Amino acid sequence: MRKWKTDWGLQGRMFFTMFLLAAVYLFFLVILSSQGAGMNVMLLFIGGFMFLQYFMSDKLVLWSMGAKIVSESEEPKLHETINRLCALADLSKPKVAVVQSSVPNAFATGRSPRKAVVAVTTGIMHTLNQNELEAVLAHELSHVKNRDVMVMTIASFLSTIAFFLVRYLMFFGGGGRDRNSGGIMAVWFVSILVWIISLMLIRTLSRYREFSADRGAALITGTPSHLASALMKISGIMPRIPKDDLRKVEGMNAFFIIPAISGSSFGSSLMNLFSTHPSVEKRIAALENLEKELER
Amino acid sequence: MGFLDALLGKSKLPKAKTERLFAISTASITLEVNLGLKPQGSAGICFKPMESSRYAAARLEIEELLSYSCKETGTDYKVQKDEFNYLWVILKDPDFEDLVTNIHLVTQTLIEHGFSEQLLCAIYRFEGESKVYWIYNYKQGAYYPFIPKGDHNRDNNLEFRLRSVMDSELPIEKNVEKWYPLWGIPI
């Protein structure tokens, strides 16, 4: 009997990260209200920002990437591959888009499975064979299924609050108003701290969700090795891509299958804390473990 | 439950539903009498092969079972891979009941070996004025009509008519967004 064990370690770490995020924000809100900051204006501003981020992000992403929605007759094979994966996983079919770019990559966007768009670059379609492309598409479909856009939007919304507070206090905190400047400095310091910690936690959460999507892809396709070989192919090619294309894709790292920018010049352990994706080696190792599970 | 699983990034694939697979057997009579659609003596199952030695064992067993059962019912069968690397078990038999029985046999064998999640669909071919496929989606546990017309086009009018006529006899997928086409069905 084929049985997939629930990865409790991964579940636990993910839950813990979410919990820490919430705890950090609660702490932050407590500090904030005790200082009596002008909440109304800020909340309105932040609320508007989140609204935009949540409801417009898919369009913004597609627009900034130059992704074009393709019909079934334009890309029959791509559509059919996705059709079958959706039928296997019982998902509603997302829209399919293609980006004219030689950078081999793929991403998913959209706030709900119904609004989702899965996009691939022409580069990835040329680089990967059918099995590998299918595995990559299954990875993106898992992002859609796991509602990663929603989860990450909410998580980064919280960090947005902190970020805007930092800016707000920088403007008004030093203005020599009739306030206890030591208290303002404390709030300012705390909000910077909160921002750094929350960024780290969000990135951690993002990495866990990548592992989850890899796992989901392996589950749908039944062949973890295809995703592993796709990852190896893509990552091997990444450093050789011209800089121009890399700059174009810089803003979109969170939902890419492999981030296009790698900051190898920084200390690697520090970078690991802040990177949105786990290293390819770790992902391949996780996929190999799944492979062993299948044989059991 | 499903929503929480999604938030935690837990992936689970739905299992195959087989209760309503047999419904085609009675429906075929109505299809022939009322709509002039004759079963064409061919049917198939499409599933996603896995990377596992247990899968290889299951495949061997299916072929053994098939050769045994097909000898008894006088059914021809073959196993082939398509361009998407999915496997097809294709059955040919003028007796529709034998087709249904053998499709069920293959389905059960795959499920017994734990490959329930890998089942994509079962397909029966009918023919009247045009070629009509009834596709059973294992994940939905329902049928839907698929009538290819020319190059990557389908006869939606006839498909909707078939739905309205057959609705009472055959469990038909309500959400037309899930009426996925399969181009180049090898049966």
Are residues B93 and B75 in contact, defined by beta-carbon separation less than 8 angstroms? yes
- Contact between chains at B118 and A88 (C-beta distance less than 8 A): yes
Q: Is A19 exposed, middle or buried (0-12, 13-18, 19+ CB in 10 A)?
A: exposed
Q: How much of chain A, in percent, has pLDDT values that exceed 70?
A: 57
| Cβ-Cβ contacts under 8 Å, A291 against chain B | 51
pLDDT confidence tier of residue B72, bands split at 50, 70 and 90: confident
**Does the beta carbon of A139 lie under 8 angstroms from any beta carbon of chain B?**
no
- Tens of pLDDT, residue by residue over B91-100, are 999 999 999 9
On the question of pLDDT at A3 being above 50, the answer is no
Query: What is the reported pLDDT for A282?
Result: 86
Close Cβ partners of A185 (under 8 Å, ≥ 6 residues apart): A173
Torsion sign over Cα B167, B173, B175, B177: negative
Cα A212 from Cα B97, distance rounded (Å): 44
Lowest mean pLDDT among A29-43, A191-205, A258-272, B163-177: A258-272
Number of C-alpha atoms within 13 angstroms, CB side, residue B171?
A: 13
Please indicate, yes or no, if residue B183 is contained in any of the structural domains.
Answer: no
Residues facing B45 on adjacent strands: B89, B122
> In chain B, which residue's Cα lies nearest the Cα of A138?
B11
SS3 B148: strand
What's the confidence (pLDDT) of residue A268? 41
Give the pLDDT score at A285.
86
Element (H, E) at B18: none
Residue A215 lies in a domain: yes
Which residues 107-146 of B have a C-beta within 8 angstroms of A?
113-115, 117-118, 120-121, 137, 139-140
Closest to A254 measured CA to CA, from A126, A105, A137? A105
Residues above pLDDT 70, as percent of chain B: 94
CA distance A208 to chain B (A): 9
Is the pLDDT at B86 greater than 50? The verdict is yes
Chain centre to alpha carbon of residue A116: 14
Task: Compare CB distances from A6 to B10, B114, B115 and report the shortest one's residue.
Answer: B10
Higher-pLDDT residue of B85 and A2 is: B85
Q: Which of the four pLDDT bands, split at 50, 70 and 90, describes residue B123?
A: very high
Q: Is pLDDT of A189 > 90?
A: no
Interface touch A92/B177, C-beta < 8 Å? yes
Please give the Cα distance from B143 to B103 (Å, whole number). 14
Q: Is residue A78 part of a domain?
A: no
Option in A1, A72, A87 nearest B121 (CB): A87
Count the residues in chain A: 296
**How many domains does chain B contain in total?**
1
In chain B, what is the straight-line distance between the N-terminal and C-terminal CA atoms, in Å? 39
Quote the crossing angle between the two packed helices A181-221 and A224-237, to the nearest 10°.
120
User: Residues A160-189: what's their mean pLDDT?
Assistant: 60
Give the pLDDT confidence score for residue B63 in this predicted structure.
Answer: 86
pLDDT tens-digit map of A100-122: 888 788 888 887 888 889 999 99
- Average pLDDT score over chain A: 73
pLDDT confidence of residue A8 = 59
Residues from chain B contacting residue A209 (CB–CB below 8 Å):
9
Q: What is the mean pLDDT of residues A184-205?
A: 75
Cβ count within 10 A of residue B93: 21
State the smallest CA–CA distance between residue B41 and chain A in angstroms: 25
Closest chain B residue to A225, measured at CA: B51
Considering only CB atoms, which chain A residues are within 8 Å of B176? none
Q: CATH number, domain at B107?
A: 3.30.70.600
Looking at chain A from residue 171 to 230, which residues have their Cβ under 8 Å from any Cβ of chain B? 208-209, 212-213, 215-216, 219-226
Residue A70 Ramachandran class (φ > 0 left, ψ -120 to 50 alpha, else beta): beta
Residue B2 lies in a domain: no
Considering the domain boundaries, does residue A99 fall inside one? no
| Residue B170 located in a structural domain | yes
Its ipTM equals 0.74
Residue B184 lies in a domain: no
Distance CA B60, CA B62 (A): 5
With beta carbons less than 8 A apart as the criterion, state whether A216 and A139 touch.
yes
Q: Which residues of B touch A15 (CB under 8 A)?
A: 8
State the pLDDT confidence band at B11, using cuts at 50, 70 and 90. Answer: low
Q: How far is Cα A250 from Cα A105, in angstroms, rounded to an integer?
A: 12
Domain contains A142: no
Higher pLDDT, A56 or A98: A98
- Touching check for A143 and chain B: CB below 8 Å? no
Residue B137, pLDDT above cutoff 80: yes
Q: Does B182 touch chain A (CB under 8 A)?
A: yes
User: Are A147 and B137 inside 8 Å of each other by CB?
Assistant: no
The pair of structure tokens assigned to A128 is 């990967």
**Residue range A216-256, pLDDT digits in tens:** 999 888 888 889 888 888 876 444 444 444 444 444 454 55
The whole-number pLDDT of residue A248 equals: 46
Determine the residue of chain A that is closest to B3 in CA distance.
A146
Residue B48 domain boundaries: 14-175
Determine how many CB atoms are found less than 10 A away from the CB of residue A7.
19
In a domain? residue A59: yes
Tell me the average pLDDT across B55-68.
83
Alpha carbon B47 to its chain centroid, in Å, reads: 9
Report the pLDDT value the prediction gives residue B46, as an integer from 0 to 100: 92
B12 to chain A: which residues are within 8 Å by CB?
4, 219
Q: How far is B33 from chain A (nearest CA, A)?
A: 31
Among B85, B113, B139, select the one facing A88 at the smallest CB separation: B139
Strands A117-121 and A95-99: parallel
Q: What pLDDT sits at residue A251?
A: 47
How confident is the model at residue A263, as a pLDDT? Answer: 38
Closest by CA position to A113, among listed A50, A49, A58: A58
pLDDT > 90? residue A16: no
Q: How many CB atoms lie within 10 A of CB A259?
A: 18
CA A91, CA A83: separation in Å to the nearest integer?
9
Determine the distance in angstroms separating the CA of A169 from the nearest CA of chain B, rounded to an integer. 34
Domain count, chain A: 1
- What pLDDT digit, counting tens, does each position of A17-51 carry? 667 766 666 666 666 655 665 656 556 656 666 67
Which has the minimum average pLDDT: A246-255, A260-269, B59-68? A260-269
Determine, yes or no, domain membership for A129: no
Distance (Å) from the C-alpha of residue B34 to the closest C-alpha of chain A?
Answer: 30
A184: in domain: yes
A233 inside domain: yes
Whether B34 has a pLDDT exceeding 50, the answer reads yes
Chain A residue with minimum CA distance to B183: A80
How many CB atoms neighbour CB A130 within 10 A? 13
Q: State the Cα–Cα distance between residues B55 and B60, nearest whole angstrom.
A: 9
Catalytic-labelled residue, pool A80, A140, A210, A293: A140
Mean pLDDT of chain B: 87
Question: Closest by alpha carbon to A29, among A187, A143, A185?
Answer: A187
Task: For residue B121, give both structure tokens.
Answer: 């669909």
Its domain, for residue A56, covers 8-63+151-295
Residue A134 is a catalytic residue: no
The answer to whether residue B6 sits within a structural domain is no
| Per-residue confidence (pLDDT) for residue B45, from 0 to 100 | 93
